[in-house]
Structure 1
Amino acid sequence: MDNQIQRYHSNHFSLFHTVTDAPNDVTTHLHDCYELFYFISGDLTYYIEGQAYKLCPNDLILTNSRELHRIVFNSKCRYERKFIHFKPEYISSFQTGEYNTLYYLENRKLGYFNRIPAKDVMEYKIDELWGQIEKAALESSPESGMMMKAIFVQMLITINKIFAKYDHSHVDHRKYDHKIVAILEYINKNLEEKISLDILQQKFYVNKYYLCHIFKLSTGFTVFEYITYKRIMRASELLMSGMPALDTAHAVGYSDYSTFYKAFKGITGYTPKHYYRN
């Protein structure tokens, strides 16, 4: 059971601080916003788009609205975290043609470089900026909302600076299964096509049973779970652009509309038509 210590919510910005005494795994999901996840304590592995991050206290995880992620707990240790959900509209007034505040959040390769390690979080004082946002959130003064936003923008600029520092050297610091990376890229580029284990086996020269094993081990998802989530995420974008539901189903690789309907409702909680209306 979660013990919520602090919460702040507005149209485009939400701030949370929660504690769970006996955590359960968090199933595959994504958000319709960006998330900054500040890990305080617990024993978990954070899976994002094919990468597994074993977290240490004060690590910061960043995900955008296109990245599937899940959390697997390695033990029932007390789990404490803070997180911020926000939409780009929240800081639109701070964006300029010369500087994109969300550059690294938006332009990373999916699942790559989602973690800022505790060392950099502390060195660049992101923890202090987070504390200042929390303090402003508790105030009821007329200027508190503006103060929160200004500090948050400062935090995003600091995050950009950290990633810019990583830019020329961090590739060698992480070990990736390049075959899994290639398979993920193939799936994301071919969602409208038939994708089966036999096809992946033939294309990537890997036994399909072994592929299932290493895919789940590397990503935290089964192959078909990943494909389904990606297809439904793409379908939601097409529906919002005005594409009819039947055409959308075909555009994301479903020849049978009833299968698409069940998958879409199972993941989003809405029928395709109701999703567009809502």
Structure 2
Amino acid sequence: MTKDYDEKIPYSDYEQKGYLEQDFRFFHIKDRINIDVPYHYHDFHKVILILGGNVKYLIEGREYELLPFDFVLVNRHLIHKPVTYQNEGDLSGDGGKNDYYDRVILYLSDGFLSKYGLLDAFAKAKEIGSYVVRFPGDVSTSLYEQFIKIERDIQREKDEYAGELLTRIDVLKALIDFNKACISEDFGFKPEARYNRKVIELINYITENLSGDLSIDYLADHFYMSKYHMMRVFKNETGYSIHQYISEKRILYARNQIMSGIPATTACLECGFKDYSSFSRAFKNQLGMLPSDIKS
């Protein structure tokens, strides 16, 4: 899916929190800086190719300063948001290149990537805890050209014989080359992130212990922090309260368990809820459905 640069695109169209019904969706979006996007997460994976503008990306407590031709990988269920800004002292607003946030975005379903064995880049990003890739110029140019080819494919789909199939083939080719570059270029995942070490430790601990005691008092004791300071710093760095973060991660984990065939009552206990009633209520509030509505 593509949009003309001068068309106003509501954020609900492409920064939505929710689900992806197709295998993939494609966007090329250019709009003014100083856009306001709240922290959110998706049930799908996302690749963003930065083409222009002053932009930072915040992902699970890490802040990345981005450059043109950086690739941002956002694994599904990771809390994130972009932040655009003007350079200090640059108040011209004359429509120059830095007045626009220009990017290409691919939404990718987990099932689609799993089917073709194309999750390596996202797996590596998660393993090393870095979500921005900065390739050498020749690699970035080759991948950029493939992304633009996908855009042209989509524009001609209705006029080309087997147009949708051609788009799908080019998406797969681009993903194959992108994954190969990510796992073969040791210097790819290098841009440094600004982060608070304690917050990253908290995030890692919560992720690895969703079935355990994650009360505020326990976490404060475990990390030798004042609970009020811990809550304030976590909120500042992630945009989420600790309680909200834990609840959402637990519900997402439980939903994946249920979808894999585990009974909802078992998933309730394994994701750290003490009773099914509170689990069911939290599940409905977050996902808009009951655990019993999920089909494995």
Shift of 1:175: 5.0
8 Å CA contact 2:70, 2:133 repeated in 1? yes
Distance (whole Å) between structure 1 residues aligned to residue 183 and residue 261 of structure 2: 38
Which of 124, 132, 141 is residue 149 of structure 2 equivalent to? 132
Does residue 208 in structure 1 map to residue 214 in structure 2? no
CA pair 120-273 structure 1, distance change in 2 beyond 3 A: farther
Paired position in structure 1 for 2:107: 85
| Count of residue pairs brought into register by the alignment | 269
User: For residues 228-272 of structure 1, what are the alpha-carbon distances to aligned partners after superposition, in whole Å with 9 as ceiling and x for unaligned?
Assistant: 111011011122123333332222111143332332222212122
CA offsets per residue over residues 189-245 of structure 1, 9 Å max, x none? 111122122211211122222222332333333212221111011011122123333
How has the CA–CA distance of structure 1 residues 164 and 28 changed in structure 2, closer, same or farther, with 3 Å as cutoff?
same
Partner residue, 1:220: 239
User: How do 1:256-267 residues align onto structure 2 when only pairs under 5 Å count?
Assistant: 256-267=275-286
Q: Give 1:2's aligned residue.
A: 9
CA distance in 2, matches of 1:168, 1:207: 38
Judged with a 3 Å threshold, the aligned counterparts in structure 2 of structure 1 residues 169 and 47 are, in CA distance, closer, same or farther, namely closer
Compared CA separation, residues 47 and 179, structure 1 to 2 (3 A): same
Identity %: 25
Shift of 1:133: 0.4
Give the TM-score of the pair, scaled to structure 1. Answer: 0.78
Structure 1 residues 152 and 172: CA distance shift in structure 2, 3 A = closer
The alpha carbon displacement at 1:37 in A equals 2.0
Distance 1:44-1:223 versus aligned 2 partners, 3 A rule: farther
Q: Give the conservation status (yes or no) of the 8 Å contact 2:49–2:70.
A: yes
**Pairing of 1:74-153 with structure 2 (within 5 A):** 79-87=101-109, 89-90=111-112, 95=116, 100-109=117-126, 112-117=129-134, 123-139=140-156, 140=158, 141-153=160-172
Q: Is the 8 A contact 2:39 2:79 kept in 1?
A: no
CA contact (8 A) 2:62 2:193 kept: no
CA contact (8 A) 2:283 2:290 kept: yes
Partners of 1:44 and 1:261 in 2: CA distance = 39
Task: Tell me the residue number matched to 1:23.
Answer: 35
CA offsets 1:2-33 (integer angstroms, 9 cap, x no match): 269x99x98312112345567332332222x2
Q: Which amino acid aligns with 2:38?
A: V
1:53 correspondence with 2:64: yes
Q: CA deviation at 1:92?
A: 6.7
Preserved contact between residue 70 and residue 220 of structure 1 (Cα < 8 Å): no
- Distance change in 2, residues 1:10/1:214 (3 Å): closer
- Between the aligned partners of 2:21 and 2:285, the Cα distance in structure 1 is 28
RMSD: 3.6
Partner of 2:76, secondary structure, is coil
TM-superposed deviation, 1:186: 1.1
TM-score w.r.t. length of structure 2: 0.74
In structure 2, the residue matched to 1:230 is 249
| Equivalent of residue 209 in structure 2, options 190, 198, 214 | 190
> Which digits, 9 at most, give the CA deviation of each residue in 1:24-77, with x for residues without a partner?
32332222x2211234456654322221224444432112224232345558x7
Contact 1:41–1:81 (Cα < 8 Å) also in 2? yes
Amino acid aligned to 2:59: I
Distance in 2 (CA, whole Å) between partners of 1:102 and 1:73 is 28
CA distance in 1, matches of 2:74, 2:270: 26
Greater alpha carbon shift after TM alignment, 234-243 vs 206-215: 206-215
Cα distance 1:81–1:173, how it changes in 2: closer, same or farther (>3 A)? closer
Structure 1 residue 172, shift from structure 2 partner: 8.6
1:72-126 CA distances to partner (integer Å, 9 max, x unpaired)? 5558x76554321123554677x4xxxx533122343268221224875974432
